[in-house]
Amino acid sequence: MQNLNIMIVGVGGQGTLLASRILGAVALKKNYDVKVSEVHGMSQRGGSVVTYVRLGDKIHSPLVEKGEADIIISFEQLESMRWAEYLRCGGKFIVNEQKIDPMPVIIGKAKYPEKIIEKIKENCRKTIVVDALSIAKKCGNIKTVNTVLLGVLAKSTQIEKEVWLESLKETVPSKFLDVNLKAFEEGYSLQAQ
């Protein structure tokens, strides 16, 4: 298959890790070559974080570079804007509506940009906006934001739904599985509407 370049961007602490682990499990099931790359350490403390996931027949570089992402899943609006230049022409942007003010905004040294979603839509026709926080709350656990977004992602790929569900079952601890399956379904059915 053609290589698939996915980026997961957000704010340290938002739980982007689970999404990348499930993507890794999906790749294994499909017998793809896969590389997942993220940076640990200082940048994780509430900073801007990014995970690169690349799937395909043979993957060399673990990084997705500017203009190369087929899909970007953004957990936060401002981060969508920051990483937008990584999306390739015709790529898909999955944007969570959540906003988290960065320190320069909190202390009044910068303004949180306005109309981010509109700007992203202008540049990328395939933008899917998700209120994942509300959906997660509705499902019964605020921490399932990542699974909601994963459901939206799953629908955007050619990979069978069963493979995603199996990977989810293998990766998520059993006591949180039901709520995560529910969240995944909510995300998966979102685009059909």
User: For the residues of 16-66, what is the DSSP string, one character each?
Assistant: HHHHHHHHHHHHHHTT-EEEEEE--SGGGTTSEEEEEEEEESS---S---T
- Scanning the structure block, which residue is given the tokens 């704010």? 11
- Scanning the structure block, which residue is given the tokens 């509506």? 97
What is residue 110's three-state secondary structure?
coil
Cβ proximity to other proteins: between 113 and 160 the closer is 113
Cβ proximity to other proteins: between 37 and 191 the closer is 37
Q: Which of 6, 8, 36, 168 binds other proteins (CB under 8 A)?
A: 36
- Could you give the CA distance from residue 190 to residue 116 in angstroms, rounded to a whole number? 21
Cβ proximity to other proteins: between 24 and 192 the closer is 24
- Could you give the CA distance from residue 21 to residue 158 in angstroms, rounded to a whole number? 19
Q: Which of 89, 175, 192, 193 binds other proteins (CB under 8 A)?
A: 89
Q: Which of 111, 174, 175, 193 binds other proteins (CB under 8 A)?
A: 111
Cβ proximity to other proteins: between 14 and 192 the closer is 14
User: Do residues 139 and 80 lie in contact, with contact meaning Cβ atoms separated by under 8 Å?
Assistant: no
User: Do residues 77 and 94 lie in contact, with contact meaning Cβ atoms separated by under 8 Å?
Assistant: no
Site for other proteins in 123-142 (CB under 8 A): 123-124, 137, 140-142
Whole-number minimum distance, CB 192 to other proteins, in Å? 25
Q: Which of 61, 170, 177, 189 binds other proteins (CB under 8 A)?
A: 61
User: Do residues 6 and 56 lie in contact, with contact meaning Cβ atoms separated by under 8 Å?
Assistant: no
Q: Is 35 in the site for other proteins (CB under 8 A)?
A: yes
Residues interacting with other proteins, by CB under 8 A? 11-13, 24-25, 27-28, 33-48, 59-63, 65-67, 78-79, 81-82, 84-89, 91, 93, 100-113, 119-120, 123-124, 137, 140-142
